[in-house]
Amino acid sequence: MKVIDKPEFEALLDETIASDRRDVVGVQDDGEKYVFDDLRSAADLALEYDVTMLSPKKYLMPQRETILEYRDTDGEFEWRAKAEPDGKVIVGIHPYDLVAIEQLDKIFIDTLRDEPYRQKRENSLLIGANMQDASETAFAASMGTATTDSGYDLMLTDLGETYAVNIGTLEGKEFLNSADVRKATAQEVQEVERIEQEDVPDLFERELDFSPALLPTILEENYDNMEFWEDYSEKCLSCGTCNMVCPTCYCFSVDMIRDLGTNSGRESRRWDGCLLEDFASVAGDENFREEVAERHRHRFMRKGWYIYERYGDIACIGCGRCTSECVADVADPCDVYNKLHQEVQAHAQ
């Protein structure tokens, strides 16, 4: 572990903003919410934030991106798949969002290579920040994602006058090369451990009533509990907001767009969500999840059971974004999981 004085860190960041070929983005207060946005000065960083509106997923898998271009020039027809290598230096990522990115890496790089994602991801530098505040809808501590020892290039912990810096990768270490950093003292190392083990868990108002390891089983047992899913989703508007704000949701659609008046155009992919009505519909008026209760159920099944079956991860990291953004107030996974757990227990008695 290293330690860097705050002014020194800010100078390093300002230097990076000025000279790095990549955009530097970081957590800022936009007046109403915290957001990841282009950083013009290190002084704009707001590392004491609770949660950002969107996770940094938006930089690795943008809400819209061109994945293919085509052109027809004098009878020569050409397709060109695109993968912009526009990585970013991303500053201030909370541990749960780092865990979410690790889940995406596993799928989009390690298992099924997705070139647009891989290019951005591998060209990015992820600077994490230990939590100093939590939103009232978050339950990351219960999900084991309130702290992490992987997934970052660097991880900052605020120690008042200084930041303690954990180095996760060689690239992270090199980032610090030009700055004045020193080795952490034993007290400083212990203080970071204390913050992670005592202060961080204390930030959360919500918790799961059981171990997340039980989630896949609990969900499976409630698959046919239609009464629950129907009651629960009664007020849902099928707006898909809960999908869009989720750092682990990665479903997308692909649209072909013609440049007007030409024989060229492109394919653009955009975030899509399983709560939207047509997500699973096919020709012939067949919709495999026609009822909102079925779509609602699918969202939770996918998060807590299906993805676990396939990749070994629980695809909910407890950030609480879906809960705070849902206008109908029905997207709260912590509440759903706890209720499902109660259903299973009631059943067992």
Residue from 6, 70, 199, 343 in contact with other proteins (CB under 8 A): 70
* Between 83 and 203, CB nearer to ligand SF4: 203
The rounded distance, in Å, linking the Cα atoms of 300 and 323 is 13
* Between 30 and 255, CB nearer to other proteins: 255
CB 130 within 8 A of CB 95: yes
Q: Give the interface segment with ligand SF4, choosing from 87-95, 119-127, 221-229, 241-249 (CB under 6 A).
A: 241-249
Smallest separation (angstroms) from ligand SF4 to the CB of 314: 9
Interface map 102-131 toward other proteins (x if CB under 8 A) = -----xx---xxxxx---------------
Pairing assessment for the beta strands 23-29 and 76-81 based on DSSP bridges: unpaired
Q: Give the interface segment with other proteins, choosing from 11-19, 151-159, 256-264, 340-348 (CB under 8 A).
A: 256-264
Give 299's contacts (C-beta < 8 A, 6+ positions apart).
242, 243, 274, 275
* Between 72 and 149, CB nearer to other proteins: 72
Smallest separation (angstroms) from ligand FAD to the CB of 282: 4
Pairing assessment for the beta strands 125-129 and 154-158 based on DSSP bridges: parallel
The H or E element that residue 36 is part of is strand 34-38
As a whole number of Å, the end-to-end CA separation of the chain is: 50
Smallest separation (angstroms) from other proteins to the CB of 237: 20
237 binds, among ligand FAD, ligand SF4, other proteins, none (CB under 5 to 8 A by kind): ligand SF4
Cα–Cα distance list, 8 to 124, 161, 167, 216, 330 (Å): 22, 11, 17, 46, 45
Give 239's contacts (C-beta < 8 A, 6+ positions apart).
275, 276, 327
The H or E element that residue 95 is part of is helix 95-105
Amino acid at 332: D
303 binds ligand SF4 (CB under 6 A): yes
* Between 213 and 254, CB nearer to other proteins: 254
Smallest separation (angstroms) from ligand FAD to the CB of 29: 41
| 150 C-beta neighbours (distance < 10 Å), count | 11
226 binds other proteins (CB under 8 A): no
Cα–Cα distance list, 28 to 121, 284, 323 (Å): 22, 48, 21
80 binds other proteins (CB under 8 A): yes
Cα–Cα distance list, 198 to 99, 121, 227, 320 (Å): 20, 32, 40, 21
Residue from 156, 240, 272, 298 in contact with ligand SF4 (CB under 6 A): 240
Longest dimension (CA), the chain: 75
Give 103's contacts (C-beta < 8 A, 6+ positions apart).
248, 307, 311, 313, 315, 317
Helix, strand or coil, per DSSP, at residue 273: coil
Interface map 258-287 toward ligand FAD (x if CB under 6 A) = --------------------x--xxx----
Residue from 91, 330, 336, 340 in contact with ligand SF4 (CB under 6 A): 330
**Phi then psi dihedrals of residue 27, to 5 deg:** -75, 130
316 binds ligand SF4 (CB under 6 A): yes
Task: Pick out residues in 227-256 that bind ligand FAD (CB under 6 A).
Answer: none
Name the residues that contact ligand FAD, by CB under 6 A: 278, 281-283
Name the residues that contact ligand SF4, by CB under 6 A: 236-242, 245-248, 275, 303, 316-322, 326-328, 330-331, 333
Name the residues that contact other proteins, by CB under 8 A: 67-68, 70, 72, 77, 79-83, 107-108, 112-116, 223-224, 250-256, 258, 263, 265, 267, 269, 272, 274, 279-284, 286, 288, 298, 301-302, 305-307, 309-310
